[in-house]
Every structure is written in structure tokens, then in C-alpha cells.
Structure 1
Amino acid sequence: MSVLDRHTPKLLMLFRAKGGALGRRLEIIMELLQDSVHSSIERTREVVLRCLIEYLGEQVGHLIKEFNDTENLEELEQLILAITVTPKPGASTSNSPKNIGIVIEGMEVITGLGDIARACSVLLGLTYALNLNYPTQLKYTFEVFQKLFLELDDSKLSSKVQSLKSKLEA
């Protein structure tokens, strides 16, 4: 978390400078930071992580699955590796507190993680502990988590992640 926090100002600057269709998608995600009532370090981390996934050319929906009601929860069984955001029992509105958990191979393995950034770090730990492969559609995201944020095996970077690292160090 501390490395993510250290890179946050530079990452937000990179995201704001992006143009075109990607810039518009990033702008929509960053609008969550404009709401000062719900502004917090957890919200900022979530926005940065969501933007990072888009910035790397991957889709947030491949990692974070949001469910607005309990009727679609059968879809959990189809997930291989994901962070889930579901309504808490008894929640009545879309602004109600959410339950954040992790699903591996259709089974909810942990819930009550509190925020997306914490869920990402737990998910990364679980992939190491269980010796799981990273999802191919999120290979750059997990490479950034591992090699830039955890600084593990950071000598061999893909060109996309090397470019991001160079921009962060500039």
C-alpha cells in the first residue's frame, strides 16, 4: 500500500494527461474523486487501481465484478479469479455499504475485505500462496502489482510495464 501511495500523485498526473478514448474512460473513473463527501485514502487507491488497469489496456471488469443485487450472484460460480463487490445483507440502496471479497474457481474464499486495494493485495498473496497463474487478460496489471508495487523480480519487465516505470521515475 505504501508503494501505491507513493506513486499515486504521479499516476494521477499520467491518467489526467491521457487523451483520446482512453483519456475519457480514465476521466469517468476519476470523477469518483470529485465527491469530497466520500473522499478517502481507500477511495483514492481504488480509483488509481481502476485507472491503472484501464491505462494498461486491460478491463477493470476482468478483475472487479460488481453486483448490484443478489439475483445475479449465480454468476459467482463462473468466475475463475476475481474481486467481488456485492450488496451487504439488508442493504437497500446502491450507496449502501458493499461486501468486498475474493472468488477463486467459483468459490468465495474470503469476504469482508473492506476496500478494493486491500482485496488486490490479498488476491496477490493468495495467487502466490496457492501457486496460481495470473489471469492472462490481466497480465500487465498483475505484473505491475508484483514488480512495481511489491518490487519482486523487477529486473525483467515487459515493455509496457517498463514504460510505466520510466514515467513514474521521471
Structure 2
Amino acid sequence: MASSGSKSVAFFLLFLNLGLYFIITIIAAWAINHGIMKARESASVLSPPAHLFPIYFPMGSMATGFFVVFALIAGVVGMGTSVTGLKNILQWTAPNLHSAAASSMGTWALTLLAMGLACKEINLGLRDANLRTLEVITIIASTTQLICTGAIHVGVEEVISGQRNLERTRV
């Protein structure tokens, strides 16, 4: 079967992404909880624009709040996409692969947004070890999600061309 290579690559990458997005979700949720718990005492000495953002992060830079929130969103959406993608890859039909490809593209876009904010935070500096870990895993997840999206799209093309060849032989 010609599609077994892309199927196994996509399956492996979806399983890897499930683990990466789980770690991203755990660390981002911890950072938000830490920011909420420390916000009252830390933000009381700041100037008024900092009071407008509801979660002030005592660790990191001013980009930390946005990065952590978008990393949490990307992590939760990525876990959902990975679970449904695993189910769709196991079925390996054209409609299921189209669904997996579409959700994979959306997750990759959210992960790229979080990765861009991670790069901004790296550029600004002054970050905690947990935030560095979250940044690195977010950058790795954006790369593996891109490769996974490509593998799923290759699978879609293989299934569609296989169906066309089957229709031609029937006629």
C-alpha cells in the first residue's frame, strides 16, 4: 500500500504532538495560576497601564501574559486536534483525512501565534526557567505540527489519487 509511509509518520507525529501539547497546557496553566496568585501583591506597585491587564505575571517580561494565554489556548486546541486526528488517521478515508488536515492547519496557526510571542519574550529577556521550558516546547511543537500537517496532506493526496485510479480501472 502506497499510503502506509505517510500514515505511520502522521500517526507518530500526532501522538508526539499530543504529548507536547499536554506539557504546554500543564506549564501554561501553572503560569496563569501563579500569575493570578501573585498579581495582587506584585501589581499594586506598578503604574496604571499594568493594572488594565487582569493577570500580571511577576516572572518574565511584559510579553509573558500574552504568551502564556496563547500557549494555553494552543495547547488545549492542539490536544483536541491530536486526539481527533489520531482517530481520523486510523480510519484513513478521504473525508476523515480532510477533517484532520483542516484541524491540523488551524492548530498550526494557533501554535505559530504562540511561537511568535515566545520569540518576542526571548528577545525581551528576563524570564523564569519554567517559561524557558514553555518557550522551547512551543517552538518544537510548531515544527512538529508543521511536519504533521504536511504528512496528513500527503495522505490526502495519496487517498484521492488511489480513488481516482480505482475509478479509472472500473470504467
- TM-score in same-fold range (> 0.5): no
Larger radius of gyration: 2
User: Under a length normalisation based on structure 2, what TM-score does the superposition of the two structures give?
Assistant: 0.26
Q: Select the structure that is richer in helix.
A: 2
Higher strand share: 1
Superposition TM-score, scaled by structure 1 size: 0.26
